[in-house]
Amino acid sequence: MFRKRFIITVGDSRVGKSTISRLLLELYNRHELNVRVYYHGQRPGDLSNKLSAYEQLGFNIKHLGFNRGDSDILLNELEMFSEIDLVLTDMPGQNLLDFFRFNSEVYFTDNLESLGYRPTFIHPISNRRDCVKYLQSLYDFFGNRVDYIVVKNQYFGEYFDFYDNSQVRENIESLKGVELILPHIGDNIYQDLEDTHLPYSLAVTSDSDIQLLYRSVAYNWMENFCDVIVKDSVIPLYLGLKRDRAELQPQELRF
């Protein structure tokens, strides 16, 4: 059978997780995929939920708490609705220990596997050492039960020495983890995108209040990032744009 993907944007605080999630939603919208979207922080409608703007493109953004009740609802939906292509959830950086506890208590990744879903962690990093420690914690806890995409966010510069020289990079590469570059975009341009409270694809149209030059730069930034993804041989599989065949044995959900 073909394996589906459960994508989780993870990472230390303020490294670009929500930016990555929004770019992925742009990509999924282009491919007309049936995506379930969740947010682990404040509930939808709160200004801190940066995915809410994508309801304008037809995505239904739901809150997902780290508790058995929310887990049961989610797993039931995934089991009932076979037309779902993939799931994307955005996890605030401070929730890592809660996520570990949640996974241990409700066997979350085990239950995803039983339903034919393989988790992918997409982890933006800055040039701080804390990002390497965060990634190491993920690797130590989940190991080869998930796939990894590390995004070098060039907003923070072009050099990532702490990560490039780390043991966790070697470990992730040994598990066929991949790296991706998010190119730098000017501070003023990015802030103008944020201030529109629109999906990126709407913020770069002529109806937007952003000046023409900034719209052009933002459009090319978005297009270049998406092009790199779709042209890669592995990343489209990890992000659910393509399906990989897996020998999955029927299993019962664990509660």
DSSP string, 79-142: HH-TT--EEEEE--GGGHHHHHHHHHHHTHHHHHHHTTEEEEEEEEE-SSHHHHHHHHHHHHHH
Round to whole Å and give the CA distance between 236 and 210.
31
Asked whether the predicted pLDDT for residue 51 surpasses 60, the reply is yes
Asked whether the predicted pLDDT for residue 169 surpasses 80, the reply is yes
Residue showing tokens 């979207």: 37
Q: What pLDDT is attached to residue 212? A: 96
Q: What pLDDT is attached to residue 98? A: 87
Q: Provide the token pair at 169.
A: 């990079």
Q: Provide the token pair at 225.
A: 């990032």
Cβ(99)–Cβ(91) below 8 Å = yes
Let me know if 40 is exposed, middle or buried by CB neighbors in 10 A (0-12, 13-18, 19+): buried
The pLDDT confidence band at residue 249, using thresholds 50, 70 and 90, is: very low
φ and ψ at residue 83, rounded to 5 degrees: -75, -10
The pLDDT confidence band at residue 245, using thresholds 50, 70 and 90, is: low
Closest by alpha carbon to 8, among 149, 153, 167?
149
DSSP 15: S
Across the chain, mean pLDDT equals 89
Asked whether the predicted pLDDT for residue 114 surpasses 50, the reply is yes
The pLDDT confidence band at residue 244, using thresholds 50, 70 and 90, is: low
Q: What is the pTM of this model?
A: 0.91
Q: Which domains does the chain have, with CATH numbers?
A: 2-186+233-238 (3.40.50.300)
Amino acid letter for position 20: I
Closest by alpha carbon to 17, among 96, 106, 70, 76?
96
CA 9 to chain centroid, in Å, comes to: 3
Round to whole Å and give the CA distance between 170 and 60.
37
- What's the rounded mean pLDDT across residues 148-161? 95
